[in-house]
Structure 1
Amino acid sequence: MRILDTHLHLIYPDRFSYPWLSGAPAINKPWHVESYWQEAAPLGIEAALHMEVDVAEPQIAAETEFVLGLDRIVGAIANGRPEHADFERHLERMRDLGKVKGIRRLLQFQPAELSQTQTFVDNIRLLPRYGMSFDICVKSHELMLVPPLIRSCPETQFILDHCGNPKIADGEWESWTTRMERVAELPNVVCKVSGILANVDETWTVDAIRPYVEFVIETFGWDRVVWGSDNPVVTLFADLTKWVNATREIVSDASETEQEKLFWRNAERIYGV
């Protein structure tokens, strides 16, 4: 089964500044495309979308332009600041680069009001005009912020990253499932099966994460899920190989068509690859 990775982070400290990495020493080092493909290609991953890595704001455009020239990177989800009045100028520049499929502005740990301002909403409404979607990344306790934004932008395609970041190591379930059901009710959002292994601990097993993945697929449906590696964040408690194999095991009883939707068909359609 071929895979299109919708969530690959590449880190080039010699080129860009990543202020947040000072607080993540385990992955605060180079993660280049060559080393990724060395592990990814034998797993059946044939292409990848690069996900912005929250570089210093003046470097956002440069990061996007750089990664689009790398091996088998078929598109990028670029960083952006929809809270700024001149956001459309950024969209124009991203469009001119070609192959920018979407925008992400990290909302996790940001002030709750950031995504609720009229400027933010109006700018997210611009994305369909540029053929772009919006990736939402929040922690599970912030999921209540998601439905108002999605409802306010009915023509925009949203992708909820990392299954909504359930706190698996803490056994979080009911609060997460309740909030995820409210998100899934909205037709213009899909969920990315990624980031699960950043929310576990060293004792994780496939059976421990299975209910979370299965819940997302059941709640959103096979037509509204995509797969992402979240490499190198996935290496905090596992590695790319273990995550691919775990996902394959969890969906092994699904039909070939259903698995194709998760691993590549939906991604090609939703991101316009």
Structure 2
Amino acid sequence: MAKLLDAHLHLWDPWERHHDWLDDVPELRRRFVPEDVDAGSYELAGAIFVQADCRDGEALEEVRWVQDVGPPLVHGIVAYAPVHLGADAAPQLEILAGEPLVVGVRRLLQGGTDAAILGRGLREGVSLLADLELTFDICVRHDQLAAAAELVAACPRTSFVLDHLGKPPVATGALDPWRTDIARLASFENVTCKLSGLGTEAATGWTSADVRPYLEHAIDVFGPARCMIGSDWPLMTLAGTMEQWFDAVSEVLTDEDRHAVLCGTVCAFYGVEP
């Protein structure tokens, strides 16, 4: 089986840091560490840890905890950073860039306003990442993709990756206007796409057929060299297993696409080794 490096995985310990959103998801309010990961028949070559939305003041502590408990599974860290503060975020970004496993940053944008995405502060903060060789994970919902494209256009030197295909409305089966909006994002060569997170956007009891049109379209507009597989573990356990998701993605890949999507793209984008 081809090497698989998971581009989107979370770890947390709610007894050490405050993840307030877990109050609404009690089944996930426990410690998740590498030893808990179950990829079924797949053998993980590694994973990228993505910040798990602890309180802002605990973000650096989260990074250092993951650097302690994450290896050898975790090959890179996407940390929280207050990029919305613009130039005022520079000191924290410089600290993060000096951490050995930090490869990128994320500030959740989903559920926010278009005005926040298009604001001067966010543009300035995200633009700082290029000189620090840090990437930016875009986490938005499908109705925010047009605004996300404007952010990308304003930051041409920054490398972006779209989390969870922009969270399309899989539960309803609707493809438009998501299909057009994600194609617009794909037209920017500095944007890559994570094939992740659709299980929790789908209806209960989802199958590969439910997510296939979204996966195929993303691969078509981005190309396999700009697509990477991610589990969104452990959130995805609310809607299925890691193996089920990896199977769903694998089913839409040709033999030629497989290496890039399963391992090559994530390694090239985040600058990590398999």
State TM-score, norm by structure 1.
0.94
Which amino acid in the other structure matches residue 169 of structure 2? K
1:137 aligns to what?
A: 139
1:10 aligns to what?
A: 11
2:258 aligns to what?
A: 259
For residues 238 and 42 of structure 1, the distance between their equivalents in structure 2, rounded to whole angstroms, comes to: 15
Alpha-carbon distance, 1:28 to partner: 2.4
- CA-to-partner distance for each residue in 1:25-56, whole Å, 9 max, x for gaps? 332222222111xx138512110110000001
Alpha-carbon distance, 1:115 to partner: 2.3
| Structure 1 segment 147-226 matched on structure 2, within 5 A | 147-226=149-228
Contact in 2 for aligned 1:68/1:74 (Cα 8 Å): no
For residues 266 and 171 of structure 1, the distance between their equivalents in structure 2, rounded to whole angstroms, comes to: 28
For residues 266 and 62 of structure 1, the distance between their equivalents in structure 2, rounded to whole angstroms, comes to: 29
SS in 2 for 1:4: strand
Structure 1 residue ranges (4+ consecutive) displaced by more than 4 angstroms after TM superposition: none
State TM-score, norm by structure 2.
0.94
| Structure 1 segment 1-273 matched on structure 2, within 5 A | 1-36=2-37, 39-40=38-39, 42-69=41-68, 70-71=70-71, 72-84=73-85, 85-251=87-253, 254-255=254-255, 257-273=256-272
For residues 149 and 89 of structure 1, the distance between their equivalents in structure 2, rounded to whole angstroms, comes to: 22
Gap regions ≥5 residues in structure 1: none
For residues 172 and 237 of structure 2, the distance between their equivalents in structure 1, rounded to whole angstroms, comes to: 19
For residues 236 and 81 of structure 1, the distance between their equivalents in structure 2, rounded to whole angstroms, comes to: 29
Q: Number of aligned residue pairs: give it.
A: 268
Alpha-carbon distance, 1:111 to partner: 2.8
More displaced stretch, 64-73 vs 149-158 = 64-73
Which amino acid in the other structure matches residue 21 of structure 1? L
- CA-to-partner distance for each residue in 1:76-128, whole Å, 9 max, x for gaps? 00011112242111111111212211010100012322222222211111111
Alpha-carbon distance, 1:23 to partner: 1.6
Gap regions ≥5 residues in structure 2: none
